[in-house]
Amino acid sequence: MTITLPVFDQLEDSLWLTLCGRALDNRREDPLLRDELADQIVRTVDYDYGKLKISPSSVIYIAHRALKLDEIARDFVTRHPDAIGLDLGAGLDSRATRIDVPPTVDWYDVDFPDVITARQQLVPARPHVHNHAADLAEPGWLDRIPTDRPAVIVADGLLAFFPLAEWSAILNRIIEHFPSGEIAFNGYSTFAVKAAKVYPGAKAVRAIMRSEGFDDPHTPESWNPKLRLVREILLTREPEIERFPAGLRWANRLSARSESLSRRGNVVLHYRF
């Protein structure tokens, strides 16, 4: 099969960073995520991941946060077999396959039309898993999605691309669309936003960081009265760090002692509405 991918713009190009991170995790001796499909896609397109200069620690952090978002989504669809799942800015991620969404759930992978064209060629189709071409910043993309079912919404590596006013508007539209649900995304502290701007991988894909970041996990509660924090997951304190290579394991154990230090790094924020 010949694969002709669209030419991605700067925003779309960022998907390679996370995809290659998960693929490289899969090539480690003890992969955290075991995302074989990510690895397969990177091999299929013969993507030059070397130019991204993804550090070994970033590979692990990318896989770790994906694992946590998978856990939240899997748990929700297990408790709500009639759920709707949304992966916002899904890129070429195959979360629905990783968590093995039950066929009673309708799952939507949302991204720009060019990314969806690439997904259609590279990510194997599954029943009830839908590719949804849309610009999340435009109102109206939810119109084609059922309104009467509980929903789990995940966004991996997306928040950084939106000023908080735009991000809160997106969350508000989602909260008003569904009767109830849960939302989880990796957070960016004010420090993390500054760090991401000088991160070589982000520079290589010319990523535009537009978020101001926020440090208090309760901040989103002020955007919508229905939104409540379930848990701020500081990844330095999660059990998987025991599987990290020694140096990284020790660095994380040290950071874990301080909440503010942990917040500077890999964080997953989990809310309900």
Ligand X SMILES: C[S@@+](CC[C@H](N)C(=O)[O-])C[C@H]1O[C@@H](n2cnc3c(N)ncnc32)[C@H](O)[C@@H]1O
Q: Which of 35, 49, 58, 91 is the binder for ligand X (CB under 6 A)?
A: 91
SS (H, E, C) 194-205: HHHHCCHHHHHC
Q: Does 158 bind ligand X (CB under 6 A)?
A: yes
Cβ-proximal residues to 47 (8 Å cutoff; 6+ apart), any chain: 16, 19, 20
Task: Give the whole-angstrom CA distance, residue 118 versus residue 267.
Answer: 29
Site membership for ligand X, residue 187 (CB under 6 A): no
Task: For residue 221, count other CB atoms closer than 10 A to its CB.
Answer: 14
**Among the residue ranges 11-19, 41-49, 193-201, 253-261, the one whose residues contact ligand X (CB under 6 A):** 11-19
In this chain, which stretch among 17-25, 78-86, 237-245, 264-272 interacts with ligand X, using CB under 6 A?
17-25
- H runs (alpha helix) in the chain: 10-13, 15-26, 36-45, 56-79, 95-98, 113-122, 164-177, 190-197, 200-204, 246-256, 259-263
Closer residue to ligand X in complex, CB, 112/214: 112
Question: Closer to ligand X at the Cβ: 12 or 106?
Answer: 12
Of 135, 188, 185, 129, give the one whose Cα is nearest residue 156: 185
Nearer to ligand X, 112 or 271 (CB): 112
Kindly indicate which of the ranges 29-37, 51-59, 84-92, 265-273 contains the residues binding ligand X, using the contact rule CB under 6 A. 84-92
Rg of the chain over all Cα atoms, to the nearest angstrom: 18
Stretch that binds ligand X, among 118-126, 129-137, 210-218, 260-268 (CB under 6 A): 129-137
Residue nearer to ligand X on the CB measure, 25 or 93? 93
The CA-to-CA distance between both ends of the chain, in Å, stands at 44
CA dist 265 to 3, 65, 148, 229, Å? 37, 11, 36, 19
Please say whether the beta carbons of 60 and 236 come within 8 A.
no
**Contact with ligand X (CB under 6 A): which of 19, 123, 235, 269?**
19
Task: Name the pairing type of β-strands 84-88 and 151-155.
Answer: parallel
Task: Tell me: does residue 188 bind ligand X (CB under 6 A).
Answer: no
Give min distance, CB of 88 to ligand X, in A: 7
Q: Which of residues 203-262 bind ligand X (CB under 6 A)?
A: none
Give the x/- contact pattern for ligand X in 34-73, rule: CB under 6 A: ----------------------------------------
93 binds ligand X (CB under 6 A): yes
Binding footprint of ligand X on the chain (CB under 6 A): 11-12, 14-15, 17-19, 89-91, 93, 111-112, 115, 135-137, 156-158, 161
